[in-house]
Amino acid sequence: MSSEESPQITRRTTRLSAANSENAVDSSKSCALKPLSVNDLLYGNSPISLEELISSFPGRRGQIIELMSLLGPVNSPMFPTFVYGGSSTGKTSVVLNIFRHLRRPFVYASCITCYSPRILFESILNQLMLHRKSDSNGYSSIKRCDKPSDFVNLLREALSGVIGTLQGNAEKAGSKKAARWPNGKMVYLIFDSLNLVKEWEKSSTILPFLFNLYDILRMPEVGLIFISNNSLDTYYADTGFVEPFPFHFPDYSEDDLRQILLKHQVNKNLYSSFLDVVLRPFCRITRRVNELSTALLPLFKKYCEPLGDLGAVPNEDMKRKLYGHLQRHIAPSLNETFRVSAGLTSGASRSKDNKRKGIVKKLEACTSSNELDFHMSTSAKFLLISAFLASRNPATLDASFFDSTGGSDNRKRKRKSSAKSLEQKETAEQELLMKGPGTFPLERLLAIFQCLTSVAEYSPDVEGQGNRATMGDSGYIGSHVLLQLSSLCNANFITKGGSCPLEGSTRYRSNVSEDMVLKVARSVKFPLSKYLYRR
Amino acid sequence: MGLKNPVEQAVILLRSRLCNPNFIFTLFSDSPDSNYSKLKYIISSSVTESCNNSVLLLGPRGCGKLAVLELVLEDLLREFPDMISVIKLNGLLHSDDNCALKEIARQLCLEHQLAFSKMASSDENSQFLIAMLRECGLAHKTVLFVLDEFDLFAQGKQRLLYSLLDAMQSVTSQAVVIGVSCRLDADQLLEKRVRSRFSHRKLLFLPPSREDLQRLLEHALLLPSGSDLPHEFVANFNSNLLNIFADKKFKDIMDTVFNTDSTFKQVLTFLFSALCHLDLKCGFLSVENFKDALSNIQRQPKLECLKDCSILELYILVCMKRLEVREHETCNFNSIMKEYKSIHDSFQTTDYYARDVCRRAFEHLLQRELISFLDNRGHGHSIEFRPVKLLISWQELYQGLKSYGSCPAILYKLVERETTT
């Protein structure tokens, strides 16, 4: 947590405060904010010493020193460097803080916020040309640029401008203000989260372009640093690219994690004895700082429950007592490690797919209770049940389930022959595991829905009276059902798949787990198991 | 600037040398049968005899195609001032025809102090190009077109290549097209109408030989005596370096570098890394620096990645491997979970976690790109059902488990058994 508190935010605030420094290099900007100067390419106003830097990143000493040797002494050119390592290992913050320590000017662009080539290019140019989006310029970028070719020309121009200023500064270096000025005449470009570029539309041209940027620019005063989650061998290109210099950030070891987790604790002794107990089993599941810290938080509260005084230094006896208290909580909480984070991180998770699944994940998380914890109209509930049935049951058996005459003997035959076709059953089960819920056309869903609502109407006390009026109208399906369907699609209970190549109609698929549907069925008193085909 | 630490100064000097390909390749410009001499001859003869020409520079990445070309261009610009104008295009930037024509027009305007209009249409630009070519021909000025990443220009309709090469067919024009590509079959990519207009001159650039490498080392790392560095320091530094070059251990290291990847780029990266390891206090390179550099450039990313995995993630990988060995056609999260459960049932492992936890570990693996989805489509499906594949081989997994500090013995046994049976 300590090492990965979003660096962009801290950076932005420090940038603003940095903007208050004097010595304007260029002016002609209106508004209350002071015009930007080359100093704003630095990280913050206050440099930190090497000891501070190393002590603020426990377990990263080796990486910091090696990375600094890669950057080299002032004014020394460098090879493009590719920093990689798992998420939440402190790549970005270490790199940025090294620049803060060295006081060298740099431009930072994260591919998380710069999600398209154009935004990436313009953000870099804005920073280099000391341009600030504001009311007076309509929050526009300084240059419009979406092609790599334009970008290279503009970048060259901007870089030589900045380098010129820096050189001018260096010549005047005798004066008092020199201490505030950036160090040296190198400018560094930092591209963060490069692995996201792989998912861009034009990734096949943008990635080799970025990797070759150093050779294209041919400016020794520019240093390039790429930060990525994945190693270089996961970047493919047709004819390859000039490989940047690889630099690895390994995941934290258990000892490092202990130090990091201890860092912001008030009562270090207490927490340390707590970590003695829990850290090892949790490390077997994940070694990411962010996930561990959220998982350990509630557990530590439990640990402290028997304690009256939180500032107490625990002795052996007390430790044993606390351990006895905590022991029974550890195993269940291991299995709930990601319950909270599943909902929280879904927005930030990697692919779009993950994001969409996030909602269902959260909903599944509440299966333990018997009640639904959200409201849904009755017809939506029936629609959800019919979608579930349409997904699970084979279409050929619809008649036997829903047609009162065609019925049940078909099912019985299946049941009886089970001894003979045990093997068949197993393969079918395997298939269900592999293929997941099936798809169905809209017509089938509506037909099942109609059957269900007509059944529900005959059963004695189903629902409130108002609903029955609309639902009982079994001959006609109003537009409200279609509206419900689209809102269910939006809520990701049902996904709309691609159209079937043969029929051409859109196909749907239900995403809901069986537990969830059972709960829904219970809430409308619908006998779901009667209609569910068991293999 | 005041007095600076000589070590720091030397490091800066050496680093700027390594980052400047032109400096590195001046070493090879003197011999008569080098690519430098050949290329220079081709271009200078077409400049002096005012004829059209085209040539391809082919060779793997990092063998100095562009650097040699730059050197030649630099020399020629000095020899024939006002007779050459150079237009540089890059396939990564200008593979789009309209964009390329615009860039040509821009560079021509810049070169001849003309006003460049951003709004000009591609048609106007191409007319401008032809007119400029004619004018330059009349003025006995050669236009050199350098097309880096030539193979990318050969995608699509190749309109740019055609119009360039076609313009060169006329008597009045005077131009040289130089294509640079790392695809050795770059000329086979050309369409018939383009190929027939192309002179099939090719220059092949190869990785350096061992002797060249030795010369390169000395050329790149030995400090010059005539600089503002103190004489004593330079002498010490150089004699220390020569000692290292003669060292048996150093020779072994260089052999390893040479045997894995002997392109100039790789050797330079290696030297750069060694230089970064130089201890600023002692001020001299040592064999250890080179050893560290070797381990720095010879990385095994998949093994590093395995080392970063948690134990639960390793379990999932082993399950997948077992499924793969048993030739299940595809596997997805559900089938992996089934396997995971069966392992737990038969061995009573301590690491048996809930499904949600396993799914997060599964997602971590996807993020680490140790596994990936088989198809890019199927966004409608939830993660559990999408088929996945393993991106590491059995050996990598085995080695990874072996080097993993606290790997449970059972996992190790499971993987080992899969191969013996």
Domains of chain A: 7-249 (3.40.50.300), 254-337 (no CATH), 378-531 (no CATH)
User: Of B103, B273, B335, which is closest to A434 when you measure between CB atoms?
Assistant: B335
CA torsion sign for A14, A16, A20, A23 is positive
A204: contact with B, CB 8 A cutoff: no
The whole-number pLDDT of residue A500 equals: 60
Write down which residue in B297, B332, B348 finishes a domain.
B297
CB A194 within 8 A of CB A228: yes
pLDDT in tens, A500-514: 666 667 788 887 878
Write down which residue in B183, B204, B225 finishes a domain.
B204
pLDDT in tens, B323-348: 888 876 678 888 888 889 998 988 88
The whole-number pLDDT of residue B109 equals: 92
Cβ distance of B380 and A220 shorter than 8 Å: no
pLDDT in tens, A82-105: 999 988 898 999 999 999 898 889
Please check the confidence at residue A461 and state whether its pLDDT lies above 60: no
Q: Is residue B18 part of a domain?
A: no
Please check the confidence at residue A15 and state whether its pLDDT lies above 60: no
Give me the torsion for CA of B279, A108, A211, B156, rounded to 10°: -170
Q: Could you give the number of structural domains in chain B?
A: 3
Q: Is residue B346 part of a domain?
A: yes
pLDDT band with cut points at 50, 70 and 90 for residue A419: low
Q: Tell me how close the Cα of B33 comes to any Cα of chain A, in angstroms.
A: 27
Q: Is residue B101 part of a domain?
A: yes
Q: Which residues of A touch B276 (CB under 8 A)?
A: 66, 69-70, 72
Among A325-329, B286-290, B307-311, B396-400, which is the least confidently predicted range? A325-329
Q: Tell me how close the Cα of A168 comes to any Cα of chain B, in angstroms.
A: 13
Q: Is residue B137 part of a domain?
A: yes
Both B329 and B194 in one domain: the answer is no
Structure tokens at A13: 């605030």
Both B144 and B252 in one domain: the answer is no
Cα angle value A507/A513/A514 (rounded, 5°): 110
The whole-number pLDDT of residue A499 equals: 63
Which of A50, A65, A74, A79 is the best mutation test for B, with the most CBs of B within 10 A? A79
User: Of B66, B311, B387, which is closest to A284 when you measure between CB atoms?
Assistant: B311
pLDDT in tens, A36-60: 777 778 877 777 889 999 998 988 9
Q: What is the DSSP letter of B116?
A: P
Phi, psi of A510 (to 5 degrees): -90, 135
Q: What is the DSSP letter of A130?
A: T
Both B64 and B109 in one domain: the answer is yes
The whole-number pLDDT of residue B4 equals: 65
Cβ distance of A285 and B312 shorter than 8 Å: yes
The whole-number pLDDT of residue A27 equals: 37
Q: Which of residues 426-465 of A touch B (CB under 8 A)?
A: 430, 433-437
Q: Which residues of A touch B183 (CB under 8 A)?
A: 239
Number of residues that make up chain A? 535
Write down which residue in B271, B297, B323 finishes a domain.
B297
A149: contact with B, CB 8 A cutoff: yes
Q: Which residues of B touch A434 (CB under 8 A)?
A: 330, 332, 334-335, 385, 387
Q: Which residues of B touch A229 (CB under 8 A)?
A: 367-368
- In 3D space, the residue among A141, A182, A144 whose CA is nearest the CA of residue A163 turns out to be A182
In this structure, the strands spanning A439-441 and A506-510 are antiparallel
User: Of A152, A250, A433, which is closest to B93 when you measure between CB atoms?
Assistant: A152
Both B192 and B310 in one domain: the answer is no
pLDDT band with cut points at 50, 70 and 90 for residue A341: very low
The whole-number pLDDT of residue A7 equals: 39
CB B84 within 8 A of CB B48: no
Q: Is residue B9 part of a domain?
A: no
Please check the confidence at residue A81 and state whether its pLDDT lies above 60: yes
* CA A79 – CA A82 distance, rounded (Å): 10
CB B292 within 8 A of CB B274: yes
* CA A267 – CA B344 distance, rounded (Å): 39
CB A83 within 8 A of CB A226: yes
Please check the confidence at residue A406 and state whether its pLDDT lies above 60: no
CB B44 within 8 A of CB B159: no
Q: Is residue B15 part of a domain?
A: no
pLDDT in tens, A104-131: 899 999 999 999 999 999 999 999 988 8
Q: Tell me how close the Cα of A458 comes to any Cα of chain B, in angstroms.
A: 36
* CA B150 – CA B57 distance, rounded (Å): 9
Both B224 and B292 in one domain: the answer is yes
Element spanning B352, H or E: none
Q: Tell me how close the Cα of A453 comes to any Cα of chain B, in angstroms.
A: 28
Range B178-193 average pLDDT? 90
Among A239-253, A315-329, B183-197, which is the least confidently predicted range? A315-329
Q: Long-range contacts: A24-29, Cβ < 8 Å, 24+?
A: A25/A130, A25/A165, A26/A130, A29/A132, A29/A134
Q: Which of residues 390-429 of A touch B (CB under 8 A)?
A: none
Both B213 and B197 in one domain: the answer is no
The whole-number pLDDT of residue A177 equals: 52
- Give the residue carrying structure tokens 């236009």: B143
A62: contact with B, CB 8 A cutoff: no
| Residues B99-112 as b or e (16 or more Cβ within 10 Å = b) | bbbbbbbbbbbebe
Q: Which residues of A touch B62 (CB under 8 A)?
A: 242
B383: contact with A, CB 8 A cutoff: yes
Please enumerate in sequence order all residues whose Cβ is within 8 A of that of B394, keeping only pairs 6 or more positions apart, or say none.
B321, B325, B415, B418, B419
B382: contact with A, CB 8 A cutoff: yes
Among A14-28, A386-400, A482-496, which is the least confidently predicted range? A14-28
Which pTM does this prediction carry? Answer: 0.84
**Secondary structure (3-state) at A425:** helix
Domain with residue B386: its CATH number is 1.10.10.10
Both B61 and B95 in one domain: the answer is yes
Q: Tell me how close the Cα of A467 comes to any Cα of chain B, in angstroms.
A: 32
The whole-number pLDDT of residue A21 equals: 37
- Say how many CB pairs under 8 Å bridge A and B: 181
User: Of B20, B181, B367, which is closest to A220 when you measure between CB atoms?
Assistant: B20
The whole-number pLDDT of residue A334 equals: 78
* CA B414 – CA A61 distance, rounded (Å): 37
The whole-number pLDDT of residue A404 equals: 60
Q: Which residues of A touch B90 (CB under 8 A)?
A: 216
Cβ distance of A434 and B302 shorter than 8 Å: no
What is the domain range of residue B222?
209-297
Please enumerate in sequence order all residues whose Cβ is within 8 A of that of A348, keeping only pairs 6 or more positions apart, or say none.
none
CB-CB neighbours of A314 under 10 Å: 18
Q: Which of residues 358-377 of B touch A (CB under 8 A)?
A: 359-361, 363-364, 366-369
Cβ distance of B16 and A220 shorter than 8 Å: yes
Domain with residue B114: its CATH number is 3.40.50.300
Q: Tell me how close the Cα of B124 comes to any Cα of chain A, in angstroms.
A: 19
CB-CB neighbours of A56 under 10 Å: 17
Q: Is residue B7 part of a domain?
A: no
Q: Is residue B65 part of a domain?
A: yes
Q: B203 has which bridge partners?
A: B57
Cβ distance of B360 and A78 shorter than 8 Å: no
Both B154 and B227 in one domain: the answer is no
Both B343 and B412 in one domain: the answer is yes
Q: Which residues of B touch A85 (CB under 8 A)?
A: 308
The whole-number pLDDT of residue A337 equals: 63
Cβ distance of A334 and B311 shorter than 8 Å: no
Both B98 and B194 in one domain: the answer is yes
Please check the confidence at residue A357 and state whether its pLDDT lies above 50: no
Both B398 and B280 in one domain: the answer is no
Both B73 and B137 in one domain: the answer is yes
